[in-house]
Chains A and B, each alone.
Chain A
Amino acid sequence: MQLFNNIKIDWLGRRKIFYSLSAVLFLIGVINVIFRGFVFGIDFKGGTEIVLQYEKPIEISNIRSLVENTSLGNLEVKTFGGETGVLLRTDLQNLPKELFPIVVANIEKAIELLYPGLSRRIVDSTVSSVTYEFPNHDTTTTLISELFNAGFQAGKVSESLDNKQMVVNVGISEWIKENLKNKITDNNFKIVKEDHVGPKIGNELKQDALIAILFSLIAILVYLAFRFKFIFALGAVVALFHDVLITLGLYATLYGVIPGLNLEIDLTVVAAFLTLVGYSVNDTVIVFDRVRENLKIHKTIPLNDVLNMSVNRTMSRTLLTGGTTLLTTLVLLLFGGEVLRAFAFTLFFGIIIGTYSSIFVASALVLEYAKRKDKKFQF
């Protein structure tokens, strides 16, 4: 079977059409980025994320209404995987101040239950912990293990042998778990995933991700400049920018539009973008490789025609190589599971746009440059 054999189309003569198409896609993306922005996962934003797996299917709206009363205002609730999975997320790092009295009351209640009337005093309380002091070491130690077994994050303040202080950590995840455990009693859950990321790590990662993407663009620019001509390398890298930016725009545009598709930018999505950068340039290289070869053979034919000829001759292979990879990313998107969905989505659309730009954008940019400078290329 053969497709796209012997096509003779003047693609570069129609390059204005492709410029406008790219510009439109780009604008849609930019507008959405400005007005809707990106949604970052907790990898970058910091925060707490818990995934619960219930024994039986559970109504997500039910959970939502239950956690509404937990005073964690912007708590997100989503399904995860099938009907039994629930994802809860908040970008809060610590429990809100107004919840503290309730938490302390709960601890007090638990202490009263174990040692009624025990003398105690709160020596310190921070945003994420309360520290108690008790009259003697042994009571403190037993109380800590009892409270720990009762589900509190209790621990010794110091391991010294006369330690009389107990610190109880009160984090967001403990608060959510405690709340849900008490309210739904006929359907137990277990925690399948729990992430907690501090805000500093998130900022560092954002920076690292940007640097990584820039570095890979530079690496590609240098390599292609070395193998072809600088302007070819530049054309390829501009085409890559084009791919990355349009795909990013798509993220902002489609966030929350397609149910079940969670388009948040997290670490694996950045990995997908980097892969896109590395892979999308492949098709461009195929076209340029042919241009290089044709320029050697047909020294008299104008550049415009050489480019057209090269694009036409490589059309089938560009589409086929992109196509097989697209096929596997589609399989990943459909069958790869919840965790990899955004990753697969990025590559799926990225490869479509990348193949398009390899054919129609990269060569056109080289031509623009040559026309403006009235330059001839020789390899």
Chain B
Amino acid sequence: MKEFRFKIILILGAIGLSIYLLFPTYKNYTNNKEIAKIISDRQLELKETQPSVSKIELDKIDKFVEDSIKASNPSYEIIKSKSIKLGLDLQGGMRVVLEVNTGKLLEKLAKNPDDTFHKVIVDAEKESALSNESVVEIFAGMMQTRGIRLSRYYGTVRDEDSKIIDDLNTSSEDAVARAMEIIRNRIDQYGVSEPTIQRQGSRRVIVELPGIAREEEAKQLLQGTALLQFNLVKDAQSTINIMQRIDEVLAGKTDSTVDKTKKDTSITVNDSLLNQELSPEEFAKQHPFFSVALINPNSQTADAYVSEDQKDKLQFMLSRPEVTAVIPNNVEFHFSAKPFGVQDGKSIYVLYLVNKAPELTGGVITDAQATIDPSTSGAIVNMQMNSEGASDWARITGANIGKRIAIILDGAVYSAPNVINKIPSGNSQITGMANLEEAKLLEIVLKAGALPAPVSIIEERTVGPSLGEDSIRAGLKAAIIGFLLVAIFMVFYYRRAGEIAAASLIFTVLFILGVLAGFGATLTLPGIAGIILTIGMAVDANVLIYERIREEISTGKTVKASVDSGFAKANSAIIDSNITTFLTGIILYQFGSGPVQGFALTLMIGIVASLFSALVIAKSIFNILVSKGVKINLG
């Protein structure tokens, strides 16, 4: 046995690792069942007690219940992140491919466009629909054949065509970055779990939204232009006052007279807030709002800090009717778009209270650039406005020196800089960014309001959850039947050796699933097909080996010698044939998208797993049995 010790450890290790990697998937499955049960119970209860609740409200409550269950036990999320993910085709959802409409962008960028220009743009767009060339190139080509220099519409008179083309290409690249930022921001606020937003090529964005229920709404979300506005941040004292009122209402203290008596000039905070003697539980009970939205009492501002897992809870609190009743209707709360920092592994967001009426909207901005200020070497963003905006801006900044103005894109606050002095020209400088990347993001945001990137949906696929469930069921059924048929055939044809092959087949499937879970890969319906196909292909190696062993035995060799040379001589055929399949797997992975990639992945993992099963596991079992003198029946 000693000679096999290493291999046995290797095999047991691989099996143990696979089971370990798959455990979260199993646990996640049972967790989801539990949560679904709690939610459906709650729903029944709600329907009985409050039959008037609308479907949308019900959905909202469901989501809140689900979030709070998950928030109460962080292990749910950890387990989920470690389990095998299901593709959109299995869990239902929506996949949208967006393309930035370069034609529209060219129109917007052009100075004094005339009829010829419009005509050429229309032609260029038509041609680009069926061509691989970009609209910019086609447009430039068409202009050149007409003998018109691009400088007539873009840049300055002296600019060469090639420079203008470069500039236009950069603008179109920028437009994609803006579109992505806008989409990401909206999806974050819409509350889709695990969205993926990726860029494809130079002007496309792929968005995948798993489990989305109201697709029409989601589609609109993706296509609309962005709303950029500048709102005055409320002063610290009024913010604190409003927050305290909310806190009291939530705690059930409806004594609204308290607020009226507390009109002080300095920032006052309710005594019990600073009372450190309260236990966390008691504090949460007495101050439901402040236990979630944390205030720094030493700060000059009244920005509240919220950890990411509490964001939904806070939003829910703020949307409750008794709370909205105490919020004055000229102000509103907005979260920061990006986390302010990270604490205990959780991102911290900032909650701002701003004037509802914006001081200015984004249409007045003509340009923005992120750069490094040479004198302070800090990251800054320079922003320019048109003349109309500039005069408003001068008035606004002049009247609000020392106050903060929030830059809000689609309801999320990207930055809230202080007004340092009156800005007469509209050329403003925003400082305070941590690094150039942050400044770049603000540049994108500012430009998003200035120049909406018109995007159009060029591909859209929606799979309902019921079809996904049917697919999973059909796939599982086929996998089990396929497995049984192949295993029965092997046992029937090769007897004892067939049993070994069938056993190693179980391990092959286990390894495939384990690797999928370990890499956090996504299982799609074609992926399931890949596993089923692998079941049929995995025994190929066993067949090649057994046939070879039979051949060797027929030449009169001993069983031990036959097994050895059978494994050795079948090797080259097994390796060569599997490598060719693996090669096409790689190409398929490159070519495919979504579901097809899932197939390529399981196919490749399957090849490696089946080789391990046949060449290591089955061989070891053979060798151990032979060395113990067990007679192996090859049928």
B216 interface contact, C-beta 8 A:
yes
From the candidates B410, B458, B595, name the one contacting A198 in the complex (CB within 8 A).
B458
User: Which of B410, B544, B588 is A274 in contact with, Cβ under 8 Å?
Assistant: B588
Cα distance, A340 to B581, chains bound together (Å): 20
The one of A2, A148, A277, A328 in contact with B532, judged by C-beta atoms closer than 8 angstroms, is: A328
* CB atoms of A268 and B543 under 8 A apart: no
Query: Interface code B570-597, partner A: CB below 8 Å = 1, 0 otherwise?
Result: 0011001111111111011011110110
Q: Using CB atoms and an 8 Å cutoff, list the residues of chain B in contact with chain A.
A: 89, 97, 128-130, 132, 215-216, 219-220, 223-227, 358, 361, 363, 410, 452, 457-464, 466-467, 470-471, 474-475, 477-478, 481-482, 485-486, 489-490, 492-493, 525-526, 529, 532-533, 535-537, 539-540, 543-544, 547, 550-551, 569, 572-573, 576-585, 587-588, 590-593, 595-596, 599-600, 603, 635
Question: Distance (Å) between the CB of B394 and the closest chain A CB?
Answer: 20
Interface locus among A100-108, A220-228, A256-264, A360-368: A220-228
Closest to B358 in A: A161
Interface membership of A321, Cβ < 8 A: yes
Interface-forming stretch among A33-41, A115-123, A204-212?
Answer: A204-212
Q: Are B533 and A212 in contact (CB under 8 A)?
A: no
Assess the B474–A192 pair: CB atoms within 8 A: no
Chain B residues with Cβ below 8 Å from A199 are 129-130
Q: Which of A192, A208, A216 is within 8 Å of B466, CB to CB?
A: A192
| Pair A212/B577 contact, Cβ less than 8 Å | no
A275 CB contact (under 8 Å) in B128, B486, B603: B603
- Do A316 and B547 touch across chains, with their CB atoms under 8 A apart? yes
The residues of A that contact B452 with a CB separation of less than 8 Å are: 158
- Check A335–B461 contact: CB distance below 8 A: no
Q: Does A339 contact B (CB under 8 A)?
A: yes
Partner pick for B576 among A267, A289, A293, CB 8 A cutoff: A289
Q: Pick the 3 closest A-B CB pairs, nearest first.
A: A278-B584, A328-B536, A337-B474
Give chain A nearest CB distance to B409 CB in angstroms: 10
Closest to B579 in A: A223
Picked from A204, A268, A277, A332, the residue with its CB within 8 Å of the CB of B595 is A268
With contacts A267-B592, A327-B489 known, is A200 near B129, CB below 8 A?
A: yes
Residues of A within 8 A of B535 (CB): 328
Shortest distance from the beta carbon of A110 to any chain B beta carbon, whole Å: 16
Chain B contacts for A317, CB-based, 8 A? 543-544, 547
Among the stretches A24-32, A58-66, A179-187, A279-287, the one at the interface with B is: A279-287
Distance, CA A366 to CA B475, complexed state (A): 41
Q: Which residues of B contact A323 (CB under 8 A)?
A: 489
Interface size class of A (residues with CB under 8 A): 35 or more
Instruction: A193 to B88: give the CA distance in the assembly, Å.
Output: 11
Most buried by B among A1, A156, A197, A339: A339
Q: Which of A37-82 contact B (CB under 8 A)?
A: 51, 53, 81
Whether A192 contacts B463 by the Cβ 8 Å rule is: yes
Nearest-Cβ distance from residue A199 to partner chain B, whole angstroms: 6
Known: A197-B459, A216-B584, A271-B599. A320 touches B467 (CB 8 A): no
CA A215 – CA B583 in complex, angstroms? Answer: 10
A379 to chain B, nearest CB (A): 11
B189 to chain A, nearest CB (A): 14
Note all chain A residues with C-beta closer than 8 A to B551.
313
Taking a contact as CB atoms under 8 Å apart, the answer to whether A285 and B577 are in contact is: yes
| B128 CB contacts on chain A under 8 angstroms | 200
A157 to chain B, nearest CB (A): 8
A197, chain B: closest CB distance, angstroms: 5
Most chain B C-beta atoms within 10 Å of own C-beta, residue among A51, A153, A196, A337: A337
Q: Within the complex, what minimum Cβ distance (angstroms) separates A70 from chain B?
A: 20
Chain A contact residues: helix, strand, loop or mixed: helix
> Which residues of A have CB within 8 Å of B539?
321, 324
Asked if residues B462 and A285 are in contact (CB atoms below 8 Å), the reply is: no
B220 and A155: CB pair below 8 A?
Answer: yes
CA distance A334 to B474 in the complex (A): 10
Residues of A within 8 A of B590 (CB): 212
Is there an interface contact between B477 and A335, defined as CB atoms closer than 8 Å? yes
12 extra interchain contacts, Cβ-Cβ under 8 A, other than A196-B459, A203-B130, A216-B587?
A153-B219, A191-B464, A200-B128, A219-B584, A220-B580, A220-B583, A317-B544, A324-B536, A329-B536, A336-B532, A337-B474, A340-B525
Q: Would you give the shortest CB distance from A116 to chain B, in whole angstroms?
A: 26
Contact A328–B592 (Cβ < 8 Å) = no
Chain A 286-299, CB-CB to B under 8 Å as 1, else 0, gives 10011001000000
In the complex, are the beta carbons of A332 and B482 less than 8 A apart?
yes
Cα separation A324 to B486 with both chains bound (whole Å)? 6
B587 in complex: contacting residue of A215, A224, A227, CB < 8 Å:
A215
Q: Do B584 and A220 touch (CB < 8 A)?
A: yes
Complex contact B596–A268 (CB within 8 A): yes
Q: Is the CB of B461 within 8 A of A336?
A: no
- Interface residue? A344 (CB, 8 A): yes
Q: Which of A216, A277, A282 contacts B540 (CB 8 A)?
A: A282
**B336 to nearest A CB, angstroms?**
20
Asked whether A271 lies within 8 Å of B227 as measured between CB atoms, the reply is: no
Within 8 A of B (CB), among A124-162: 148, 153, 155-156, 158-161
* A155 partner, pick from B223, B481, B578, beta carbons under 8 A: B223
A240 nearest CB neighbor, chain B only: B580
Contact partner of B591 (CB less than 8 A), chosen from A209, A286, A324, A337, is A209
- The 8 Å CB contact of A282, one of B482, B580, B592, is B580
In contact, A192 and B467 (Cβ under 8 angstroms):
yes
Task: Determine the distance from Cα of A337 to Cα of B532 in the docked complex, in whole angstroms.
Answer: 13
CB pair B478 A193 closer than 8 Å: no
**Across the two chains, which residue of chain B brings its CB closest to A51?**
B467
Which residues in window 330-365 of A have CB below 8 A to B?
Answer: 331-332, 334-337, 339-340, 343-344, 347
Check A9 for interface membership: any CB of B closer than 8 A. Answer: no
Q: A194 and B580: CB pair below 8 A?
A: no
**Chain B residues closer than 8 Å to A212, beta-carbon distance:** 587-588, 590-591
CB distance from B154 to the nearest CB of A (A): 24
Contact call B462/A194, Cβ cutoff below 8 A: yes
Interfacial chain B residues near A337, Cβ < 8 Å: 470-471, 474-475, 478, 525
CB-based contact B581/A324 at 8 Å: no
Chain A residues whose CB sits within 8 angstroms of the CB of B467 once the complex forms = 51, 53, 192-193
